[in-house]
């Protein structure tokens, strides 16, 4: 899965080629091999139509913009991707066809067509495209999110749903999440106390990412937070969390630099910047770290240190390995753990950052959320997991944030395993499917004043029956929805309960959107944080 490049790069990390630099390099490559590629492309165009050989003359294909030889429609794609797809959808309709280099792609941007894809054609679209750059970082596609549909995927899905992310397991994990939310409140309170004004300007995305990663690390591998070394960029995170964060800081930009390989196979022949070797080295280091976690848990279990009530996820998987060793190999276990770390950190932290940005630009909603918190939880103790079902307005805020800013706006790509018909159009086998959840969630035909932040639209079941898919749909829907909602509830609830928030300099928060598979803010949120007077006693006890 693609993830966004972290905002903060570790000290001493070598500068990596930017997306612009890589695009310039791609242009240079194209200049060198233009003649050959143009000839090949023209021969293909003369030999057969745009898609599907001679049969395509009789097929009713979706509408499509004009394409360039070799590049197809790659030149049309600008960041952020979901915004480009939305503009193209407005021009060509809710179902249209793109050719991204060598990959055929259909884009869906209506609730009706998305429902058709993931109900009538759910099995057909249950596969994932096998991107060469991602295969290197997902254990050759062995991770749950990237594995091909079949027996192996069904086994991973079953263990994730029943063993790792069940309601019982999420309940057990709540203690770890609450502890990390408390640590976040302690850090913010100390930062504010250190300022003469009693308030501190904080960059929330970094803090929210640390909370999500530390909580996941503790539940996956039973690690604990320990003091960081002086000058460490990842203070207040466990050593394991800091190590994983460093490895991802190395891998993510390299995957982004190699993205063009996924669509233009000819470019895999060239590697001027040595991206391939750097990526292999970074992945090797990450795998060694995951293997260390695995071996540490294996030794702990061999020594008889096994709390069956609060087993780590790795311990659960090692138990399954004893009965099904051919299925739950070390590689499969590491791939599952990697998926938990990446899927449960970046998207959750980003959603919480969007929620706080929206609340800062709508102070009435923030005041309403604090009033609900005071009436339901009070000011003599901290928020607990069992309080969340009674905080209806907090859930409305989270749902409205997920509507406006779905964690993966164009969803994780699917791929058709057979020819099918969607919306009356022929979709060939092997076509990649992108569903623009961002556009669907802002459809004025379904949502009144769709661009407005109005949590009240979810009160008292008023939004029941309206279509949303922030966690996907169908059999490949994200199994971590319950965990994500628990993390968002506890973290966002803690920020609302314990602190008063204001915009830096009084200026409205920039709501510009960045690029990537997930939906980052273009400008990281910085906000003024001041401990609430009513919560002073509780915060002193942290």
**Concatenated DSSP letters for 319-345?**
HHHHH-TTTS-HHHHHHHHHHHHHHTT
With beta carbons less than 8 A apart as the criterion, state whether 422 and 95 touch.
Answer: yes
- pLDDT tier at 3 (50, 70, 90 boundaries)? very low
Q: Is the pLDDT of residue 50 over 60?
A: no
Q: In what order do the strands lie in the sheet with 526-531?
A: 200-203, 526-531, 499-503
CA atoms within 13 A on the CB side of 445: 8
Residue 30's nearest CA partner among 78, 68, 83, 79 is: 68
Whole-angstrom CA distances from 97 to 66, 67, 242, 333, 422 are 10, 11, 42, 37, 12
- pLDDT tier at 224 (50, 70, 90 boundaries)? low
Residue 212's nearest CA partner among 187, 180, 244, 243 is: 180
The model's pLDDT over 460-507, given as tens digits with 9 standing for 90+, comes to: 999 998 999 999 999 999 999 999 999 999 999 999 999 999 999 999
Question: Has domain 19-540 been given CATH number 1.10.630.10?
Answer: yes
pLDDT of residue 360: 98
The model's pLDDT over 76-114, given as tens digits with 9 standing for 90+, comes to: 999 899 999 999 999 999 999 999 998 999 999 999 999
Both tokens assigned to 215: 């909580």
Give the span between the Cα atoms of 25 and 275, in whole angstroms. Answer: 12
Q: How many CB atoms lie within 10 A of CB 107?
A: 25
Element (H, E) at 531: strand 526-531
Place of tokens 């018909």: 421
- pLDDT tier at 538 (50, 70, 90 boundaries)? very high
pLDDT of residue 28: 47
The mean per-residue pLDDT over the stretch 360-385 comes to 97
Helices 239-257 and 19-47, axial angle in degrees (round to 10): 40
The model's pLDDT over 243-266, given as tens digits with 9 standing for 90+, comes to: 888 888 888 877 766 677 788 887
pLDDT of residue 309: 65
pTM: 0.87
- pLDDT tier at 4 (50, 70, 90 boundaries)? very low
Both tokens assigned to 386: 């069992």
Cite the DSSP H helix spans in 194-312: 204-221, 239-257, 275-302
pLDDT of residue 516: 79
Helix, strand or coil, per DSSP, at residue 70: coil
The mean per-residue pLDDT over the stretch 354-378 comes to 98
Give the span between the Cα atoms of 233 and 423, in whole angstroms. Answer: 51
Give the span between the Cα atoms of 246 and 231, in whole angstroms. Answer: 15
What are the DSSP E strand ranges found in 51-168? 95-100, 103-108
Q: Is the pLDDT of residue 449 over 80?
A: yes
Average pLDDT, the chain: 86
Q: Is the pLDDT of residue 430 over 50?
A: yes
The residue ranking higher by pLDDT, 343 or 513, is: 513
pLDDT of residue 393: 98
pLDDT of residue 306: 66
Domain boundaries, the chain: 19-540
The mean per-residue pLDDT over the stretch 316-322 comes to 93
Percent of the chain surpassing pLDDT 70: 85
């Amino acid at each position: 899965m693609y993830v966004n490049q972290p905002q903060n790069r570790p000290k001493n990390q070598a500068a990596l080629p930017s997306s612009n630099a890589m695009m310039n390099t791609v242009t240079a490559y194209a200049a060198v091999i233009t003649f050959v590629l143009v000839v090949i492309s023209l021969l293909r165009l003369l030999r057969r139509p745009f898609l599907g050989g001679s049969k395509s003359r009789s097929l009713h294909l979706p509408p499509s913009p004009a394409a360039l030889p070799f590049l197809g429609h790659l030149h049309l794609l600008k960041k952020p991707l979901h915004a480009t797809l939305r503009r193209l959808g407005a021009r060509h309709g809710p179902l249209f066809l793109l050719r991204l280099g060598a990959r055929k792609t259909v884009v869906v941007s209506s609730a009706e067509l998305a429902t058709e894809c993931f109900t009538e054609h759910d099995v057909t679209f249950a596969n994932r495209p096998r991107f060469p750059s991602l295969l290197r970082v997902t254990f050759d596609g062995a991770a749950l999110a990237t594995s091909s549909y079949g027996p192996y995927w069904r086994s991973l899905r079953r263990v994730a749903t029943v063993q790792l992310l069940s309601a019982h397991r999420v309940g057990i994990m709540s203690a770890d999440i609450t502890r990390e939310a408390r640590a976040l409140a302690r850090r913010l309170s100390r930062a504010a106390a250190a300022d003469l004004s009693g308030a501190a300007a904080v960059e929330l995305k970094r803090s929210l990412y640390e909370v999500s990663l530390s909580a996941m690390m503790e539940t996956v591998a039973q690690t604990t937070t320990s003091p960081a070394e002086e000058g460490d960029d990842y203070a207040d995170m466990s050593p394991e969390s800091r190590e994983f964060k460093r490895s991802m800081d190395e891998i993510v930009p390299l995957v982004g630099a190699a993205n063009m390989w996924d669509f233009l196979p000819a470019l895999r022949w060239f590697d001027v910047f040595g991206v391939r070797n750097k990526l292999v080295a970074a992945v090797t280091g990450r795998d060694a770290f995951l293997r260390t976690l695995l071996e540490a848990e294996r030794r702990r279990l061999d020594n008889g240190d096994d709390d069956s009530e609060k087993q780590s996820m790795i311990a659960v998987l090692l138990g399954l390995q004893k009965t099904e060793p051919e299925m739950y190999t070390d590689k499969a276990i590491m791939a599952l753990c990697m998926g938990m770390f990446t899927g449960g950190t970046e998207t959750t932290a980003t959603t919480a950052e969007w929620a706080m940005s929206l609340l800062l630009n709508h102070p009435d909603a923030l005041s309403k959320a604090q009033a609900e918190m005071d009436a339901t939880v009070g000011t003599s103790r901290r928020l607990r997991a069992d309080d969340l079902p009674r905080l209806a307005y907090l859930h409305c805020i989270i749902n409205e944030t997920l509507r406006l800013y779905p964690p993966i706006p164009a969803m994780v790509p699917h791929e058709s395993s057979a020819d099918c018909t969607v919306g009356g159009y022929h979709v060939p086998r092997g076509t990649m499917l992108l569903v623009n959840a961002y556009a669907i969630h802002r459809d004025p035909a379904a949502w009144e004043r769709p661009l407005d932040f109005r949590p009240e639209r979810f009160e008292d079941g008023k939004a029941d029956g309206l279509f949303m898919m922030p966690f996907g749909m169908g059999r490949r829907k994200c199994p971590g929805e319950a965990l994500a909602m628990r993390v968002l509830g506890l973290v966002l609830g803690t920020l609302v309960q314990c602190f008063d928030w204001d915009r830096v300099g009084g200026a409205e928060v920039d709501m510009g959107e960045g690029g990537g598979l997930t939906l980052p803010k273009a400008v990281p949120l910085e906000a003024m944080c001041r401990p609430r007077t009513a919560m002073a006693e509780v915060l002193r006890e942290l």
